[in-house]
Amino acid sequence: MAERTKQSVRDEFAERFISLLESDKPLEWMRGWSKQFAPPYNGGSGRAYRGINRLLLGFTAIEKGWTDPRFYTFKQATDMGLKVKAGEHASRVEYWMAWDSKEKRSLTLQEMDRILRTDPDRKEDEFSIFAKTAYVFNAAQIDGLQPLPEREHILEDNQLAEEVLKVLQDNMGVPVKYEGDRAYYSPKEDSITLPPKGRFYTAEDYYGTALHEFSHATGHPTRLNRPLDAYGTDSESYSIEELRAEIASTYICAELGIEMSESVIENHLAYVQSWLSEIKQDHNVLFSAIKDADKIADYIIDKGRVDILREKLETYAKEPKDLEGLTYEIWQLSDAPCNRPVAFSDYDEASKYSLTQSRYEKKWEATAGKDEATLEDIYYRFNVSRPAGFTGHSLSVSDVIVINAGQTKRAFYCDRIGFKEMHGFIREQRQERSRRRSA
């Protein structure tokens, strides 16, 4: 008797997806997916799972009631001195490798790409791509693993989502109109229409709907260039596009820390259920939509500057908020030639150089009044209504604001978006640390 062929990871996922869709489970799955602290990732390498693996592990987590996003191979757990609980079963994931026919060895795709880029004698036809299956255990299945600290949303009022939606309008060039009682993207006008925000039941309903429509907008020829000619008129094209947008919206909501509401989940289910028969007949329908959703989510996360805005908001949360009565100083770069690479550079670029007081000149020192209670207030004043006697230029990128609160001084770099706290800028602090080391 021929050995039974293992069911592929993708077919297994499709069948479980269909099974959940035919029951009430999808509501639970979607809610659980959005409540996870982060998308599923490998706890050993720190790498997030993508595509099929991300959704497959998400399904398993909901079925098992796991809330920890970390997964480990048996070897990773053993190497960490941990033990998989008795009777636990692993989850399968799929990953891709390359076979080097010349060297007779397996490589990661990154290693193959590096060889092809750096070795002109190597050819693409010397490599072949193949899929491998790995088995992983969730953190909940492992004894001795410390639980993750509870991770809160960046800001309870979803300021990150608000900032991202504003940036998306500018960077994608897609205007948003708030009118009527319909939510839709118009390929012809390349614009999004949403009901007024106050008509949504919850903020999560609003953000999920807005991101769904921005996902449609990525199909424009100037962006990801998906065929949208028949969108809204051909039922088959419409269903596929709705499936892409709903999965992408779910991905993005998870990235932004948005907990999806019941109504958003039900909308997602309604869209996907219309494709049950097609998915059963051809699982590639689902896989193709997931692949497209990955591209859509990555595009929106990039165009929305999610990482930059998240860092900005996290930094802002750490900034001093009530400066009234405290002394503040404004420092600006001197005209020395050595400062030209630093001038007007964002912090990541400028920090490649030594950012100390020796590069700067103190242009102002004063006690903060009630209109200078935050760093943003100070920045605004020295751009709009500079005080008499101020000899510097309008505050700009690469300038530094120093806050003096008694024995503590904190320096903040004016970045392109917000401020970055600097360590090592203040000479007195460096000298004090040096004295302590020599004592």
Share of the chain above pLDDT 70, in %: 77
3-state helix, strand, coil in the chain (%, to 5): 45, 20, 35
**pLDDT of amino acid 404:** 86
213 pLDDT more than 90: yes
**Per-residue pLDDT band at 169 (split at 50, 70, 90):** very high
pLDDT in tens, 22-54: 555 443 333 333 344 467 889 988 888 877 788
**Per-residue pLDDT band at 348 (split at 50, 70, 90):** confident
Where is average pLDDT lowest: 30-39, 87-96, 277-286, 377-386? 30-39
Mean pLDDT over 277-296 rounds to 76
Amino acid identity of 305? Answer: R
Phi, then psi, of 401 in degrees rounded to 5: -110, 125
- SS3 category, 423: coil
Q: Which pTM value belongs to this model?
A: 0.48
**pLDDT of amino acid 166:** 92
**pLDDT of amino acid 37:** 44
The structure tokens listed for 82 are 């941990």
Q: Tell me the chain's radius of gyration from C-alpha atoms.
A: 27
pLDDT in tens, 81-140: 999 999 999 999 887 888 899 888 888 777 888 888 888 888 888 988 888 888 999 999
- In 128-202, which residue ranges form alpha helices assigned H by DSSP? 159-172
Mean pLDDT over 419-425 rounds to 82
Where is average pLDDT lowest: 132-141, 151-160, 181-190, 218-227? 151-160
**pLDDT of amino acid 398:** 93
Across 291-350, the runs of DSSP E, i.e. the strands, are 327-333
First to last CA, the chain: 80
Across 334-407, the runs of DSSP E, i.e. the strands, are 360-367, 400-405
**pLDDT of amino acid 59:** 78
The structure tokens listed for 231 are 């969108």
How many CB atoms neighbour CB 74 within 10 A?
16
Mean pLDDT over 283-301 rounds to 84
pLDDT in tens, 312-339: 777 655 667 788 889 999 999 999 998 9
264 pLDDT more than 80: no
Amino acid identity of 47? Answer: R
Q: Strands 70-73 and 127-138: what pairing?
A: antiparallel
